[in-house]
Amino acid sequence: MAILTPTKDTGASTKTLPTVYAEPGQQVTDDQLRQTLPDIGMNTPFIADYLSAMLTHERCGRHLYRAVEGRTNNPTLREKYGSFGEQTERHVTVLEELIAGLGGNPDYVSPSARAVEAVGTKLVETTFMLDGSLDPMTAEMAMLDAVFLAESADHANWKILAELVDGMPEGATRDAFGRAVEEVEAQEDEHVGWASDMKLRMVKLQAASTTMAQAGAKVEEIVVRIKEWFRE
């Protein structure tokens, strides 16, 4: 089962910095990363940090999908958020297995992973922290925008990983990376493509609608209209 939030109980580790403490048992150094992971002719600690950041992005993505699936008023969006969320959880597992298979700790939280989580936290907050100043349609757009932004970064991550694989020497490590990319990349194409298309459709739909002009429209009425979106 995928770990969505690494903790001390799950075996989380991190690099200590002058301003970041961890107990000795939770600390990881670049030397340890270099010794643990196989030599692929690259900057191994950087690759470990990058994989940790990618994994963190997937974990944040899973949380985001759970959050918006539960809060969207549109059945079509809900269904996609649900299915993409499950696929994203599978991507978490794929990366966890890749890292563990290389001898690493999937619950290692690199400094770059912390930066990614900071973005992920704020991204999910954009879907609810300002709800009071958003009408229901704008709130739907905010949720979709968060998904679009998350998927854009996710898509870029996997594309970058695929290019890194191309530069790796033949062997088991390259094969392991390759299998992960092969399983996930097509789904990432689908996710970002869907989010982009859906954003276009929502913008066009609202641009052609008179609802926004009806300042006095009741929230319940707007929600009913949102539910009707994308009905074929």
Partner 1 sequence: MPFNPLDEQGIPVEDQLRNWSELNVEPYDKREVHPYTRTRVILMNGIEVESVMFSHQFARHTDNLEIKQKLALNRRIDQQQQKAVNGLNPGDQTPLETTIGYEQVAVDLTSWLARHEPDPMLKQALDFALLEDFDHLYRYANLYDLIDGGDAATLTGDLTEITPGRPTIVEHRHPYDDVRGHFETHTVDPLSRMHVMTIIAGEQQTMNFYMNHGSDWVEPVARGLYAEIAMIEEQHVTHYESLLDPLDSWLKSLVFHEYNEVYLYWSMLQNEQDRRIAQIWELHCNMEIGQLQVACDLLRRYEGVEPAEILPPALPDTPVTFEPNKQYVRDVLASQYHLRTDGIQYVALDQLPGDHRYFKVQETVNAGGTPSEMVIDEERRERSVDYRDETDGANPIPELQQLKAS
Q: Which residues bind partner 1 (CB under 8 A)?
A: 4-9, 12-14, 16-24, 26, 62-71, 107, 109, 114, 117-118, 121, 124-125, 127-133
Report whether 199 contacts 149 (CB < 8 A).
no
**Euclidean distance between CA atoms 27 and 48, whole angstroms:** 14
Question: What six digits make up the tokens of 223?
Answer: 């929600």
Nearer to partner 1, 127 or 173 (CB): 127
Nearer to partner 1, 81 or 177 (CB): 81
* Residue 180 C-beta: closest distance to partner 1, Å: 23
* Residue 96 C-beta: closest distance to partner 1, Å: 15
Nearer to partner 1, 64 or 198 (CB): 64
- SS3 per-residue string spanning 34-58: HHHCCCCCCCHHHHHHHHHHHHHHH
* Residue 97 C-beta: closest distance to partner 1, Å: 20
* Residue 95 C-beta: closest distance to partner 1, Å: 16
- List, as one string, the DSSP characters of 140-191: HHHHHHHHHHHHHHHHHHHHHHHHHHHTSPSSHHHHHHHHHHHHHHHHHHHH
Nearer to partner 1, 52 or 74 (CB): 52
